Amino acid sequence: MKHTIRPALKEDIPSILDVLQPFASEGIILPRTSEEILDSLQYFFVSEKGDGICGVVSYHDYGPKLKEIRSLAVLQGETGKGLGSALVQWVSEYLIQQCPDSKIFVLTYSPEFFKKLDFKEVDKDLLPEKIWKDCQNCPYRNHCTETALILHR
Ligand SMILES: CC(C)(COP(=O)(O)OP(=O)(O)OC[C@H]1O[C@@H](n2cnc3c(N)ncnc32)[C@H](O)[C@@H]1OP(=O)(O)O)[C@@H](O)C(=O)NCCC(=O)NCCS
C-alpha cells in the first residue's frame, strides 16, 4: 500500500503522539505534548498508509534563513522501507520552496542516517545561540551528545 505525505490535521494528534512517544521515552527525540503539537500543527507533516499514520516530521522556523528538522520518527514496524528518508526529503523540499536561501539543520543521535541524505556534520558551536533555547528542559543540556548536521545543496 502506498504512503502519502501530507500536512498534519488536528485529528492526527493522537496518532502523532503514538509514533513519537516510544522514542521520546528513550530520550532519542524531545517529548511533545498534544498542546505543543496543536500549537505548532502547521509545522507537522505525517506519512499516511491506508487510514493509519506511520511517520511524522516537523520543523522549527527560526526565520527565513534558518530551519530545523525535528520530531522525525517512523512507527516501529514500518522502519527500513524508505519512509524516514522520504519524510526528510519531503520537508527539505518544502522548506527550500518556501525559503530558497535558508539553512536546514538537524540535531540528532542518528547522524549516519542524515549523512545518506546529503546532510554534513558541523560544529554545534557554529549554530546560533537561539537554537539552544529549547534545550533548557533537557536532562542532557550540559553534556549534549547530539550531532549537528546541515543539508548541503
Ligand atoms: C531514523 C528513522 C527516522 C529512520 O527511518 P527509516 O524509515 O527506517 O529510514 P529509511 O528506511 O529511509 O533508511 C534509509 C537508510 O538509512 C539507514 N538508517 C536508518 N536508520 C538509521 C539510523 N538510526 N542510523 C543510521 N542509519 C540508519 C537505513 O539502513 C537505510 O540505509 P540504506 O539506504 O543503505 O539501506 C527511524 O529509525 C526512527 O524513527 N528512529 C527513531 C527516531 C529518530 O532517531 N529520529 C531522528 C532524530 S532527528
The CA 9 to ligand 1 mean position distance, Å, reads 25
Take residue 20 and report the three cell numbers written for it: 513519537
pLDDT grade, residue 142 (50/70/90)? confident
Give the separation between CA 153 and CA 148, rounded to whole angstroms: 16
State residue 45's pLDDT score: 98
Give the separation between CA 5 and CA 108, rounded to whole angstroms: 22
Question: Looking at residues 26-43, what average pLDDT do you find?
Answer: 95
Domain range summary for the chain, segments of one domain joined by +:
3-151
The CA 80 to ligand 1 mean position distance, Å, reads 7
- Cβ of 23 below 6 Å from ligand 1: yes
Give the separation between CA 14 and CA 79, rounded to whole angstroms: 20
Give the separation between CA 140 and CA 24, rounded to whole angstroms: 13
The CA 68 to ligand 1 mean position distance, Å, reads 18
Cβ atoms of 73 and 56 closer than 8 Å? yes
pLDDT grade, residue 101 (50/70/90)? very high
The CA 110 to ligand 1 mean position distance, Å, reads 7
State residue 124's pLDDT score: 87
Give the separation between CA 31 and CA 153, rounded to whole angstroms: 30
* Predicted TM-score (pTM) of this structure: 0.95
Give the separation between CA 53 and CA 74, rounded to whole angstroms: 9
- Cβ of 82 below 6 Å from ligand 1: yes
Residue 71 has pLDDT above 90, yes or no: yes
3-151: in CATH 3.40.640.10: no
Residue 6 has pLDDT above 90, yes or no: yes
Take residue 65 and report the three cell numbers written for it: 534563513
Supply the DSSP string of the chain, one letter for each residue.
--EEEEE--GGGHHHHHHHHHHHHHTTSS----HHHHHHTGGGEEEEEETTEEEEEEEEEE-STTEEEEEEEEE-TTSTTSSHHHHHHHHHHHHHHHH-TT-EEEEEES-HHHHHTTTEEEE-GGGS-GGGGGGGGG-TTGGG--PEEEEE--
